[in-house]
Amino acid sequence: MDHPESAHRERLRLALVFGGRSGEHEVSVVSARSVAGALDPDRYEVVPMAIDRSGRWADADDARTVLATSGDRTDRVEAFSGRDGIDSRLLDGSVDLAFPVLHGPYGEDGTIQGLFEMLGVPYVGCDHAASAVATFEMDHGLIYTYRGSWCAEGLNTSWEASWHAIGTKGSLHWDGGEEIRVEVARKTGGFLSESEDLQVPAWEGKDQHWNHAGVMREFLQCVREGGSPETRSSDNIKSLAMVFRAIESAKAGRSLEISP
């Protein structure tokens, strides 16, 4: 969808989309106020587009009022109501690009990005696929897939994440908390393999390393006695390398290597 009239404007008209249906609705509103305040008014004309907690789009005046309300705390976010239908300004070429500041489901899972792509509206951030899933292939053919489900509505993934390992002889699932389940294949060769639960033995090091309290105990022990803890903040640089490379891969539209 071409928007030739946008070429005649001196400033870019930026649709700032915020609010939304997730449990982080209030955080999104506060974030949008911060973004609007940081944008250069000589280069951008902010066009507020607010989505209420039910997923309906507010009219222009209500969206402008919500964004203009002072406050950098979530408890200062006033409730507002929208109407059915997508904001028409995304359809008629009156904006040059969109800046989604939606958190959680429908904002960080590829939903809103897919809408912008369908409408032909350029937008800030990764495309719909990168927002939904990232796949990494390790050495020796090991495949690791990340799915953005931490902000799900209900049954949220824990801070430690939810892990599902699939092997040639069985599968293991850890919910990030206390539950670890293992199933092993006992009979193969048919359309479906026959599997059974495997009893997971108790872990002797659980008291030392399990959950945040265990990590802190180990950290304090290393401070007092010397040594290096199993969990080190310096390892985050490796995680950041994976995140940035995934973004570059989404922009390039092809797989990219991550240097060791």
Domains and CATH numbers, the chain: 4-131 (3.40.50.20), 207-260 (no CATH)
Residue 214 gets the label, from left (phi > 0), alpha (psi -120 to 50) or beta, of: alpha
Kindly report the pTM of this predicted structure. Answer: 0.53
Mean pLDDT of 205-212: 59
Kindly tell me if the per-residue pLDDT of 204 is higher than 90: no
Pairing mode, if any, of strands 133-137 and 194-197?
A: unpaired
Position 149 confidence tier, pLDDT thresholds 50, 70, 90: low
Measure Cα distances from 14 to 25, 45, 54 in Å: 20, 6, 24
pLDDT digits (tens, 9 = 90+) for 51-64: 998 899 999 999 99
| Nearest residue to 1 (alpha-carbon basis) of 100, 101, 94 | 94
Spatial separation of the C-alpha atoms in residues 165 and 209, rounded to whole Å:
21
Residue 160: its pLDDT value, please? 66
pLDDT digits (tens, 9 = 90+) for 70-97: 777 777 788 888 888 889 999 988 999 9
SS (H, E, C) the chain: CCCHHHHHCCCEEEEEEEECCCCCHHHHHHHHHHHHHHCCCCCEEEEEEEECCCCCECCHHHHHHHHHCCCCCHHHCCCCCCECCCCHHHCCCCCCEEEECCCCCCCCCCHHHHHHHHHCCCECCCCHHHHHEEEEECHHHCEEEEECCCCCCCCCCCCCCCEEEECCCEEEEECCCCCEEEEEEEECCCCCCEEEECCCCCCCCHHHHCHHHHHHHHHHHHHHHCCCCCCCHHHHHHHHHHHHHHHHHHHHCCCCCCCC
Spatial separation of the C-alpha atoms in residues 33 and 77, rounded to whole Å:
11
pLDDT digits (tens, 9 = 90+) for 120-147: 999 988 776 666 677 888 887 788 877 6
Mean pLDDT of 4-8: 50
